[in-house]
Amino acid sequence: MAGDGRTTNLGFEEVFRRHFDYVWRVAHAVAGPGAADDVTQEAFLVVRRRLDEFDGGSLRAWLFTVVRNVARNYLRSQRRREARLRAVPEPAPARDPDDEVALRQAADLLDQFMDSLPARQREAFVAVELEGLTARAVAEALGVPTRTVYSRVRTAREAFARFTADQRAMEAAS
Amino acid sequence: MNPTERQLADMVAAYRQVRRPPKHLRLQVARNVSRAQHQVVRRWLAGMGVGAAAAAAAIFVVHLVAVQSLSSRRDPAASPNEAVYEHRESDGDSSTVTPSRAPAADPAVPPPPAAETTAAPSSPTPARSPSSTTQNRSRPPSPASTTTAPNTREIRLLREAEVALARDPAAAQALLTTHRKEFPATILSQEREALEILADCAVSPNAEARRRRDAFGQRHPGSAYAARVRAACR
């Protein structure tokens, strides 16, 4: 297996080892922190069942689709707000406290922004901006035209610009 | 790169540094995937024919070896810097990407929308509630957690015993005795006991065999083996 997510000879073990963190991060970004663990668990059960159906292309885009679909089911049954109530923050690794605070604030702000996006924009934003998948790979995996992915990402970027402008305005006012 | 793009890049980098899965989760997911596969073997061994059971066991062994391996070691690439290592390298050269197929319809995975205007897909009931991960996390260790996970030899012994039952129950007994010695604590103990009872009843349907049969029925009334065991020694 290549390490770049394009795979021709798949094994579940390899997928699990190499992409566990990726799957969890996508679950976290798409479904929210309280749902990330459960969605990751379910996603790997699906991957185990369906890995032989993957027929090439971007493995990461395929995994993204699995996580996104599991997350959709999850969020239908348990609204994200409820899931967030159950979120238990993981103890932070040892870093400089100031750096750590700044990093977490930035990550929290990004979570806040992603929460404000409609589901499909959010998915496109996570796939392309957060995880670096190409719009083409995402489009193929999701079964939508590439221009649709571009459109969603562009709209999300515009929303991000407005979001950060609002943040700056709020900081200036306080 | 304009200021907004730079800010986004910085936030993404921060996100990828601090958003990491809990340390316990990797092992927990590996175990649960293994257990789910184990349920498949149980069903096949209990309810299907010998050939199907052998096929299921073979599939299980392939997956089990993988899951055991992944639960016991970590990829060097999955270091704290993995996020940075992975970023932007996965699909950088889209010209080499061949068309991939999204996962087909799955009880847990609805098909993706075919187009932008497609309504949200229906929501079939997941095969297993995702919330069980959280439930497992808050639950004290179950008795099953004190047993060992099955390995290739263990599966093979049970499979061979199942095969031998039909033509040579005494050989099945010997295989199961070997299994019991080598794997005294196993999550497949129920399967072994059921096969032992079936073998005992086939070799000598005496009072002891009937006592074990009845005890099994009381202990495991919902077992996939219950019907077969109940019909033994008749």
Q: What is the ipTM of this complex?
A: 0.77
List Cα–Cα distances, B76 to B22, B51, B70, B79, in angstroms.
17, 40, 12, 6
Contact A103, A95 (CB under 8 A): yes
pLDDT of residue A54: 83
* B48 pLDDT higher than 90: no
Query: Measured between alpha carbons, how far is B113 from B121 in angstroms, rounded to an integer?
Result: 7
Rounded alpha-carbon distances, angstroms, from residue A79 to A31, A63, B32, B193:
9, 23, 24, 44
B166 band by pLDDT with thresholds 50, 70 and 90: confident
**Contacts of B205 by beta carbon, 8 Å cutoff, 6+ apart:** B232, B233, B234
- Phi-psi group of B88: left, alpha or beta (phi > 0 → left; psi -120 to 50 → alpha; rest → beta): left
For residue range B200-221, what is the model confidence (pLDDT) as tens digits? Answer: 999 988 988 999 999 988 877 7
Tell me which range, B43-47, B63-67, B114-118, B146-150, is most confidently predicted by mean pLDDT: B43-47
Most confident of A139-143, B59-63, B224-228: A139-143
Q: Which residues of A touch B75 (CB under 8 A)?
A: 17-18
Q: Is A133 a residue whose pLDDT tops 80?
A: yes
Average pLDDT, chain B: 64
What is the model's pLDDT at position B23? 79
CB contact under 8 A, B66 and A29: no
Between A and B, how many residue pairs show a Cβ–Cβ distance under 8 A? 258
Q: Which residue of B has its CA nearest to A12?
A: B66
Query: What is the H or E stretch that residue A33 is in?
Result: none
For chain B, helix, strand, coil in percent to 5 are: 60, 0, 35
Q: Kindly report the three-state secondary structure assignment for every residue of B120-180.
A: CCCCCCCCCCCCHHHHHHHCCCCHHHHCECCCHHHHHHHHHHHHHHHHCHHHHHHHHHHHH
pLDDT band at A87 (very low <50, low <70, confident <90, very high): low
* Predicted confidence (pLDDT) at residue A116 exceeds the cutoff of 80: yes
What is the mean predicted confidence (pLDDT) over A83-105? 64
A50 closest CB neighbour out of B4, B80, B106: B106
Given a cut of 50, whether residue A3 has pLDDT beyond it is: no
Across the interface, whether the CB atoms of A42 and B22 are under 8 A apart is answered no
The strand pairing partners of A6, in sequence order, are A58
Determine the distance in angstroms separating the CA of B138 from the nearest CA of chain A, rounded to an integer: 12
